Structures are given as C-alpha cells and as structure tokens.
Chain A
Amino acid sequence: GENVEQHPSTLSVQEGDSAVIKCTYSDSASNYFPWYKQELGKRPQLIIDIRSNVGEKKDQRIAVTLNKTAKHFSLHITETQPEDSAVYFCVSYSFNKFYFGSGTKLNVKP
C-alpha cells in the first residue's frame, strides 16, 4: 500500500517568513494530493490540492509543487501570519483510499 511521509513534524517561523512542508509518497499510481489545515479543536479544512497532471498550483500565499518522478510534493506558505498557525496534513489518493501524512505543527511567531 501507499506510504506517505511528512517533514518536519514541527516548524516554527517568524511572522512574514516563508514555511515549507515536504511529503513523499511511494505509490506511482497516486494521482490526487490535497493539503488540509487543522486548527486546534477544529475540523480539517482544505487549503489547496493538486492533481498528477499538474506540476505546480498557487493560490495567493499558498502554493503546492508536485514532482511525480521523485514522488514528492511540497506546500509553500509565503508571508506567514499568526493565523497560519495550525497542523497541516498532506494527503495522497490511490486506488480508492486516502493516505494522510503524520502532520506538521506550524507555529508562526508574531
């Protein structure tokens, strides 16, 4: 089955700096890669997603890159703000199942 690894597990940045979270996957058949943000005590929310026919996608301060050859994808947040503080999960989808990374706790210091 698929194996998704996510790094780092915790990330602390200063407000205004950029944050990068990286994930690797093992199944070359994986074709959909969403990222979810989960604030403490709240439900996960989609922040961006990318499909295997695209290498990069951007939405304002958030971007995701996908390298199918290397089987890794990354989340980039620019100009971080305190409200970006949360746990971020990368996800891959393959053969009717979703596989979540272990999560990255992002702390943006004001």
Chain B
Amino acid sequence: GAGVSQSPSNKVTEKGKDVELRCDPISGHTALYWYRQSLGQGLEFLIYFQGNSAPDKSGLPSDRFSAERTGGSVSTLTIQRTQQEDSAVYLCASSAPTGANYHNEQFFGPGTRLTVL
C-alpha cells in the first residue's frame, strides 16, 4: 500500500518568507510525527499528533513554527519568517497504536529538503 508521502520534496525560499510543508500519513494511522534533520546530524523531534490534537507543542523550535492536522489525516508544518538556520530536511512519520501501546513503529516519509537563502 501507499506509504507516507510529503510535499514538496524540495523547497528553496528566501529568508523572511513563509513556507508550508505537507504530510500525508499512511491511511488509518492515527499518530503523526514531525522531525527535522540537519545535514549529517541526528533527528530532532518537533511535535506529534494524536488524531487532530498535539499533546505538547514545546518541541517546536520557536513561535515561528506551527503545525496542524485536520480530519485525522493530512498535517501541515508552517514556518513563518524563515531563517537560514531553518534549513534542514523535515521528516514526517506515522504509526498505528495497538492495544495499550500508543507509540509503535514509525513509518517515515521521504522528507522535504528546505533551503533558506
């Protein structure tokens, strides 16, 4: 079946512009996660959604970052007034809770490579 998809795959923007990144999770996966990965670095957790709600938004790097999810499916990560340090690959993942375990194997999308000039 279809995996996690993300769009755009690449985004080049100018400093100060807003960008919107999209994630389509695997159908039926109620948990959705956003991470970012700078070149050659590990993953930095940003936020996760249980259905349409995010229990904790404090992982977002600054108030320029926001995320939402509607209809328990598609999620968007918005970065306002982009800065050069926002340049990274933004990865989305989804998973399906089972029984008492809400967090299980996360299936990652291909990522959006964001470059802020």
* B-binding residues in A (CB < 8 A): 32, 34, 36, 43-46, 49, 51, 89, 93, 95-103
Contacts and interface: CB of A to CB of B under 8 A. Distances in A.
Interface in B83-117: 91, 101, 103-106, 108-111
Nearest to A103: B42
B44 interface: yes
5 contacts: A34-B106, A46-B105, A98-B35, A101-B42, A103-B42
Contact of A95 (B35, B41, B56, B105): B56
Given A99-B45, A100-B44, A46 B56 contact: no
A46 B106 contact: yes
Interface string B51-79: 00001101100000000000000000000
Contact of B43 (A32, A49, A97, A100): A100
Interface of B: 33, 35, 41-45, 48, 55-56, 58-59, 91, 101, 103-106, 108-111
A32, A43, A46, A49 — which one has the most chain B CB atoms within 10 A of its CB?
A43
B43 A44 contact: yes
Nearest to A91: B43
A95 B55 CA distance: 9
B45 A100 contact: yes
B107 to A, nearest CB: 8
Contacts of A101: 42
Contacts of B106: 34, 44, 46
A9 B110 CA distance: 24
A45 B108 contact: yes
Nearest to B100: A51
A45, A46, A101 — which one has the most chain B CB atoms within 10 A of its CB?
A46
